[in-house]
Amino acid sequence: MPLRLALSKPEDVPLMVETYFEAFSQDAIHQRFAPRGTQSAHDFWTASLSAEIRDGHNHFLSVWDDSSSPETFVGFAKWIVPGASPEPLPPADQWPSEGDQEFSVFFFGRLGEMHHEAMGERPHWYLELLAVKPQYQGKGAASLMLRYGVNKADEDKVECFLDASPAGQPIYERYGFRVVQRDTFLEGTYVQCAMVRDARV
């Protein structure tokens, strides 16, 4: 299957939003803060990605399947460059109104704490988001986007960081990431892992 990696363009945002909802349709956390099929969640992701893709600190990647006609959008990722300041967490009333806004602030605030606890002020490449359409999962799209970031980190001789559910952990481990911290949510039913890849010097 000829999958092609490209830098994302602003016109890709609607495809990215659609792919996000497909990729995380069975994820309890994402459905709690941005329920699929709700207008407020769609608007939230459209506005967020439209702003973030224009920020030079963010490297957005898209994967396409060139074997179809027209070509099919497969997935996307967001890598943040070393030294970028963390994006401020939106207040509760700016999260999707049809989701659990207070939980959104708590959950993503905790992820930010775990990120800081793991990395401090050390420069690193940060994989904030990776989403692949379900029918393409396990077919190499995630690897293309992961390889981009770890190669950048190796060029810069810095670490990488990401957070992931245990389901995503094995592929990240294949690229040298290791779990440094875990926390549980939703009454202990959902685990989130902070993962670090050491600098190659």
The domains of the chain are located at: 3-197
Share of the chain above pLDDT 90, in %: 92
Enter the pTM of the model.
0.95
Which candidate, 2, 7, 33, places its Cα nearest to that of 152? 7
Q: What tokens does 125 get?
A: 């490449």
The answer to whether the beta carbons of residues 154 and 166 sit under 8 Å apart is no
Place of tokens 């905790």: 110
Neighbours of 101 (CB within 10 A): 18
43-99 pLDDT tens trace: 999 999 999 999 999 999 999 999 988 999 999 999 999 999 888 899 999 999 999
53 vs 199: CA distance, rounded Å: 26
100 vs 33: CA distance, rounded Å: 5
DSSP 186: T
Give me the CATH code for the 3-197 domain, please.
3.40.630.30
Please determine, for residue 194, whether its predicted confidence score (pLDDT) is greater than 90. yes
* Spatial strand order in the sheet of 159-164: 3-7, 58-65, 72-80, 124-132, 159-164, 190-197, 177-185
Place of tokens 């920020």: 55
104-139 pLDDT tens trace: 999 999 999 999 999 999 999 999 999 999 999 999
130 vs 128: CA distance, rounded Å: 7
Q: What tokens does 49 get?
A: 């990605």
On the CB side of 129, how many CA atoms lie within 13 Å of its CA?
A: 24
134 vs 115: CA distance, rounded Å: 27
What is the DSSP annotation of 156-174?
A: HT-EEEEEE-TTTHHHHHH
